[in-house]
Chains A and B, each alone.
Chain A
Amino acid sequence: MSALHDEYEVVVGLEVHAQLLTNSKLFCGDSAAYGGEPNTHVSPITLGHPGTLPKLNRKAIEYAVKMGLACHCSITRHNYFARKNYFYPDLPKGYQLSQHTTPVCKGGYVTIRTGEGEKQIRLNRIHLEEDAGKSLHDVDPDNTCVDYNRAGVPLIEIVTEPDIRSGEEAYAYLTELRKLLRYLEICDGNMEEGSMRCDANISVRKKGDQQLGTKVEVKNLNSIRNVKRAIEAEAKRMIGIVEAGGVIVQQTRSFDAASGDTFALRTKEDADDYRYFADPDLPPFLVTEAMLAQIRAAIPALPEERIARYTRELQLPEYDARVITDDKETATYFEAIIRHTNNYKAAANWMLGPLKSWLNENNARITAMPVPPATIAALIALIDSGQISFSVASSRLFTALLDNPTAAPDALARQLNLLQDSSEQNVAQWIEEVLNRMPDKVAEYKKGKKGLIGLFVGEVKKISKGKADPKLTNDILLRKLQQ
């Protein structure tokens, strides 16, 4: 940002809606799966037919509490749902059931890391509510078409305090939040499909000011990157207004990903009056000690915990630990390798090297990796015992295993003639051949150009197709060249 902009700071609070991966909806048995033929995941209850009543899904409570525990929130014991009253075609009952008044999780924080270091983004709350249906505006030129498959799908709304100070921090927060949701397996975090949605409340103020500026809510942010872009664009727009002596209007805006700008959706004249009241159709729910203990026990080790363990107990560099814990499946794969080997660093190298390259090339997730973790551990053992070099193992044997993932690596290496030759006789023979082929270089070496040793080693490796034991090659070469 320019020098002018350095006088200002942007203040952002994020509201994230995460669809929970339950089988059924929050208050009835319709499938909660994404998509489906329009208006097929519907019952009289979802459609808000006269006389229908809600019944709360136990799993949704568990998922919300799980997220709360992962974010260090305090868990509300006595909870109820309120009705949020407003009219919209995609809202079947004319009210949304929401835990607005008694959020099941309060407080807590999410730790983020940016170029400026580590920071805690405080949470205000996490609460349960039901999703609305979908209004489609482009199917029919004269009508809005409504699909109620999504209506009633459980959501948690995760609301931060206004602790975020840049697009970059928002990016880091959302990345971290999504990682947690996925680790807990309670939301797939897919922003494009809308299973994770984000609204940003943005204001600007002069640095050092205590009071918050007028806030603008930006909606329709369909990727983490667009959240960052929207915050940056909106901050710029707001600072522009303030600098020009203008007044920022409280409004709802949308982000246009193509132009990179925000535009006004509606100006809030009166504050909306949602007339919340406790839903008389739903008795309260209590989070009991027993439920809490059960939920706590079901929480897998989270990234921070694993990073700490990898760096402390396994002595991995922090960078390696972070990459490996980026998603739970990758970490699980890694942990499966190290059940079969104690060479943790080598396991990490395989994860960050050959496996990651293959995943990138194939645009695949670790769950699609055909070679089982135990086989990677066996590869590491082959290298450690000097039977194969890392480069041959990664370039040739690993490639062969991808095609034949059930094979035992040592048998396959033998079959492909890839095992290192540590017979002195063979190695001496390859060296003889190389030195005979390049007498000039040998002469130069002997005159003192000792760096040429690398060339000779490389050539030996080449003609031996990598089989020559590198240490042995080195020893014999030095001996021969001194003759």
Chain B
Amino acid sequence: MEVNIALVDKLANLARLQFAEEEKELIRQDLQRMIGFVDKLNELNTEGVEPLLHMTEAVNILREDVVEGSVPREVALKNAPETDGVYFKVPKVISRES
């Protein structure tokens, strides 16, 4: 299949990545090669094969409803790039478009 810049843009947006123009062409080529490579699977007939979703055969590995394991707030915030000691902070989210 053909990988074009529009697809690169769409995927980059979904993955929250950005590429400068010259990088974009390189990543397009890489993707083109990688997708060409994995296209090989189309040769195999997998009709009627149930996709394998889980690697273990275990089921119902459940926990009891017990409160435990919380950390103090200063520990939770220890690695925060920006904090006031109470909250994690991110630049203002624009939520209302006109």
Q: How large is the interface on B (under 10, 10 to 19, 20 to 34, 35 or more residues)?
A: 35 or more
11 contacts between A and B (CB under 8 A): A22-B65, A39-B76, A43-B70, A58-B64, A59-B64, A137-B92, A142-B91, A143-B82, A283-B60, A286-B59, A288-B60
Which residue on B lies nearest to A44, using beta carbons? B71
Query: Given A43, A44, A55, A137, which contacts B63 in the complex, CB threshold below 8 Å?
Result: A55
Tell me whether A45 is interfacial, beta carbon within 8 Å. yes
CA distance A266 to B92 in the complex (A): 17
Given contact pairs A137-B95, A275-B14, a sample of 20 additional A-B residue pairs in the complex whose CB atoms are under 8 Å apart: A24-B67, A29-B66, A38-B73, A38-B86, A38-B87, A39-B86, A61-B62, A89-B93, A140-B87, A141-B92, A143-B90, A143-B91, A144-B92, A144-B93, A278-B54, A280-B55, A283-B54, A285-B59, A285-B62, A286-B60
B76–A278 touching, CB < 8 Å: no
Chain A contact residues, CB within 8 Å of chain B: 22-24, 28-31, 37-45, 47, 55-61, 80, 87, 89, 135-137, 139-148, 264-267, 273, 275, 278, 280, 283-286, 288
Q: A80-B54, A143-B92 are in contact. Are A57 and B86 (CB under 8 A)?
A: no
B70–A146 touching, CB < 8 Å: no
Which residue on B lies nearest to A286, using beta carbons? B59
Scan residues 1-56 of chain B and give those whose CB is less than 8 A from a CB of chain A: 14, 16, 53-56
CA distance A408 to B53 in the complex (A): 66
Which residue on B lies nearest to A59, using beta carbons? B65
Which residue on A lies nearest to B98, using beta carbons? A264
Main SS of the interface on chain B? loop
CA distance A28 to B71 in the complex (A): 12
Main SS of the interface on chain A? loop
Scan residues 65-98 of chain B and give those whose CB is less than 8 A from a CB of chain A: 65-73, 76-77, 82, 84, 86-93, 95-98
B70–A278 touching, CB < 8 Å: no
B56–A283 touching, CB < 8 Å: yes
A58–B62 touching, CB < 8 Å: yes
Which residue on B lies nearest to A87, using beta carbons? B16
CA distance A174 to B62 in the complex (A): 32
B69–A43 touching, CB < 8 Å: yes
Q: A80-B54, A283-B54 are in contact. Are A58 and B65 (CB under 8 A)?
A: yes
* Smallest CB-CB A-B distances: 10 pairs: A145-B87, A59-B65, A29-B68, A278-B53, A29-B69, A143-B89, A58-B62, A43-B69, A146-B88, A55-B63
CA distance A273 to B11 in the complex (A): 10
Point out the residues of chain B lying under 8 angstroms from A285, CB to CB. 59-60, 62
Point out the residues of chain B lying under 8 angstroms from A43, CB to CB. 69-71
Point out the residues of chain A lying under 8 angstroms from B86, CB to CB. 38-39, 145
CA distance A23 to B63 in the complex (A): 12
Which residue on B lies nearest to A27, using beta carbons? B63
Q: A57-B63, A146-B89, A283-B59 are in contact. Are A40 and B70 (CB under 8 A)?
A: yes
Query: Given A37, A57, A143, which contacts B62 in the complex, CB threshold below 8 Å?
Result: A57
A23–B89 touching, CB < 8 Å: no
Which residue on B lies nearest to A38, using beta carbons? B86
